[in-house]
Structure 1
């Protein structure tokens, strides 16, 4: 592909809208494939193994997608988190509300899932499935719907989602690591330390870091700890503050290069090999019949909205933290509903939580898809209402009835403005009276100005 076209595609993939659309298309393709007459080919493709067995890398396509491709996604998430910590919304007191919102937005869905399964006799293994928010999908919906929404709303959602990802990573590391090979883990830590030292020594060259990153990933995978942890760790190590004379920090530069790979390849392929579940009428009915799947749906749709909104409101009510003055509580409610889109990481956690039960794994995936869809529709409706309101406000602010180049809203307290507008209205009224008089007299005056040449 020629360089200009390649740059155009890469720039497009850096936008949330395009990345979210690709993710959605991949999920739809997976659902169509898995429910088509050739669904057997989907299952056989998903289970096809390849790799080096001696290095513990003889994995199925599904495992390569979850353990390998998602590492790229989490690497970018690690850079985003580091940037927010050193130069963004997580740097100061402003971080309190979205951080608490993220924590409550994970705790309440887990509680909802636990209550549903405790009362219904289901398994508590999937408590973490509805706790995750999908950054790509959520930001894509916000970008498409919220063209007139305040920029502070995107910052709130991004901070919430980044913190959510951090805790999701910790959950994966702590609760879904069954056994640990401490020798491999120790070597992985050494490899990460070498990565950190090279960065601090400002050693340059992709041919140094890419092979080292692959070795670190392989060692982390061999240790039994989920391999995506290596991606997050390396992302957090990158310097994300700018020095004098720098247009971009190293973290920003690397994120700029890697994001198209993450949004255009890694995440869509993961969705393609993870979202393929049966969506027959019976399967959808079963989602509301089993406590595990019902807990996931209610956790995403109800738990996320209540947790994010309730945590934000309680923090603003009982602490010194304040909601950004650009935002209203209705905006927070819309974002709280948007946080219920748990696609990518929720699918991953569902696979890990019910790894020994393929039937339940498929049903939980269907629940994640349904819950995310309901949350997306609800959030899109609320965001559309808020977007319409903000658009009307913008139109009112830009209104200039007297065509003097100054928006009327800035002149409404100026006496001269009122005198000028009164004069304009009086002149228009006088012209209307004159035209009406001409029409009544039937003078046949062809000159609209009333100035007949003598």
Structure 2
């Protein structure tokens, strides 16, 4: 009996539904670990070990090459170095969805893109309106982004009660506004531009593009080039994490070896009789080596990199980021209530209003297509979760605020994240309950 008959038939949709399902599953688990690390950071920063805990992340570490010295605090290496991999994975996921996934239809992609734009513009404007001329107005970028892991974690708790379209909408929105936020960081929160370093960045990107065109497929070589580009961008005055977004979007989304070629290569290996010796410089050994390369290259670089990096980002980099950045001494002096309140209102109220407003306009103007199984009531309830800014909000706050304002900003971010999570979760539970399923 043909063993293939015992398997479900494959569909083209499997190319993007399986990676998306895996992505969501990892994000859901990562959200729980992120929450634990946040609580640990908050507790330790408000105990007798507060000074030692907060001081540890300011420990200097680095290296020198000739006359150049790269010495940063541990927090800086996490926020600017390791977080580059976070943005790299975000960019990989965005490109996969745009090239292979459900967002490959431009009008389907335009709907969450418009929502993400509203979720950035409206809260930033509301924040500036509330802050006015008070200190901290430069931190408007803090309220622009959504924490993907926490949002997906909240959705995972509700499970099958929610339509797949809502998960895809919120995931796409979060990815779009993460990319938007890092562009804001690069433009608004960079330093004085070093044009020589920027020229080296452009040269490095051109080399990477040339290597891809010539057929270089060694991932370690590309990572080495990525490290050099990161160093040049770090010296340029533009925030170095932008290199992760650029390189992620440059990564090929198509596989090198087609299915028909893969089968033909495997058929040559299978044709050898049992017990065939693979040693020596024989044609059998060459066919076996070719089959190994073909098996690897049948997956696109985006898929291979996502599979290998996503768990490291979710379970190592993000928890480290939370431990290094979520610690806030609650009783610290110099608390600025107006700043914390402005951040809170912008995230809790401004983001969902902007998302619903801009997505509604995109649908009415026929610029984007709203999924048929995603009613406006569920979309509005889900948008409440986007006030969970956490990761990116803390990331931008570290860049935007003076030390005297930073703890106030962090408290506003943490309070907004808790309230947004509670409001969104309860609204979705109510709408999907048996008596309210036809709401909206």
What TM-score, normalized by structure 1, do the two folds share?
Answer: 0.78
Note if contact 2:431-2:437 (Cα within 8 Å) is conserved in structure 1: no
* Residue 356 of structure 2: aligned partner: 309
Q: Is 1:349 matched up with 2:360?
A: no
User: What do you get for the CA RMSD once the two structures are aligned?
Assistant: 2.3
* Residue 168 of structure 1: aligned partner: 181
Gap regions ≥5 residues in structure 1: 1-10, 394-454
Superposition deviation, residue 222 in structure 1? 1.6
* Residue 97 of structure 1: aligned partner: 111
Note if contact 2:24-2:152 (Cα within 8 Å) is conserved in structure 1: no
Summarize the alignment of residues 47-446 of structure 1 with structure 2, pairs less than 5 Å apart.
Answer: 47-53=58-64, 54-92=67-105, 93-118=107-132, 121-242=134-255, 244-245=258-259, 248-280=299-331, 286=335, 289-290=337-338, 292-319=339-366, 321-354=368-401, 357-389=402-434
Superposition deviation, residue 19 in structure 1? 1.0
Alpha-carbon deviations, 1:202-261, whole Å to 9, x = none?
323333122222222112112221111111111111111356317532111111111011
What TM-score, normalized by structure 2, do the two folds share?
Answer: 0.80
Q: Partners in 1 of 2:79 and 2:367 — Cα distance?
A: 41
Note if contact 2:347-2:416 (Cα within 8 Å) is conserved in structure 1: yes
Query: Aligned pairs, how many?
Result: 376
Note if contact 2:98-2:109 (Cα within 8 Å) is conserved in structure 1: no
Alpha-carbon deviations, 1:157-189, whole Å to 9, x = none?
111111111211110111011212221221122
Alpha-carbon deviations, 1:101-157, whole Å to 9, x = none?
100110110011011011x73432011111111112211211222432111111111
Gap regions ≥5 residues in structure 2: 1-21, 260-296
Note if contact 1:278-1:366 (Cα within 8 Å) is conserved in structure 2: no
Note if contact 1:147-1:387 (Cα within 8 Å) is conserved in structure 2: no
Note if contact 2:110-2:367 (Cα within 8 Å) is conserved in structure 1: no
Q: Partners in 2 of 1:252 and 1:391 — Cα distance?
A: 39
Q: Partners in 1 of 2:108 and 2:24 — Cα distance?
A: 29
